[in-house]
Amino acid sequence: MRSGLGRVRVEPSKTISAAIEVGPRNSAGQYRSRGLVDGSRPSQVRIKNNPTELVRNEVQAIRLLLADDHALVRAGIRALINQMEGVKVVAESSDGLEALRLIEELQPDIALLDVTMPGLNGFEVLERVSARFHQVRIIILSVHDGREYYRQALSAGAAGYLSKTAASAELQSAIEAVARGETYVSGEVGNTAQATSADGQQSRLLLERLTPRQLEILRLIAEGNTTKEIAEALNLSVKTVESHRGKLMERLGLHEVAGLVRYAIRMGLVKV
């Protein structure tokens, strides 16, 4: 609804809150001229920020593509977006290859991409879109809230990084910020990054103490290779690989293979 102050918003009871300034009204109840004609409602709303900002007619919605391999997740996100003023889902996809094709075909303003998808993952789609379609702004949607994930996303060209565990109101905040040409990182992700900064420095020191062979085996483990596959790739015996793996866990203070995988991802040894 539109309030008397000229702000566009949804009811406070909704999970999404929107506010786009269109200028105050005069004493006659008309909108004052701020790029307006005859005191009427504005024909254009401009969100000022930087040269990459999106400029939208009031009746022209921000066109958004949604890609996630879970149908229920897509339905939930679409329901939230449908409550937003000035945002429209123009296409949906359940895999990365289709998302890339749709981005090329439709040239949406914003693409909201899940990290884990078949065909191409979100980061792979991001890299291709950033190289070919500079006008399409990407928000990565992920269950991972570690610092290494959002830093990888932003360095690859993402305009935003949103945790799936964030409050639903953050979805609109992210879309609005990215539409203004800003970079948005989920508050939850940022808080986690600050809390783990000291741990990250310690982890980096431990990484520097690993031998080249240990680093190679760690990377292969994180890529999902079995002990036998690693042994064959490096021309080692299975027992030698197992010995290296045990020493890796001891040096890094870890007790399971899953911990090695998480550590390798956090240190940027493999892409996800």
pLDDT, tens digit, 9 for 90 and up, residues 188-240: 555 444 434 444 555 566 777 788 888 899 989 988 899 999 999 999 999 99
Q: For 129-174, what is each residue's pLDDT tens digit?
A: 998 998 999 999 988 766 667 778 888 889 989 888 877 788 988 9
Q: Would you place residue 29 in the very low, low, confident or very high pLDDT band (cuts 50, 70, 90)?
A: very low
- Domains of the chain (ranges, CATH numbers): 57-195 (3.40.50.2300), 197-266 (1.10.10.10)
Using an 8 Å Cβ cutoff, are 84 and 175 in contact? Answer: yes
Q: According to the model, what pLDDT value does residue 268 have?
A: 78
Look at the pTM and tell me if it is higher than 0.75.
no
4 pLDDT band, cuts 50/70/90, is very low
What digits encode the pLDDT tens for the residues 165-179?
877 788 988 999 899
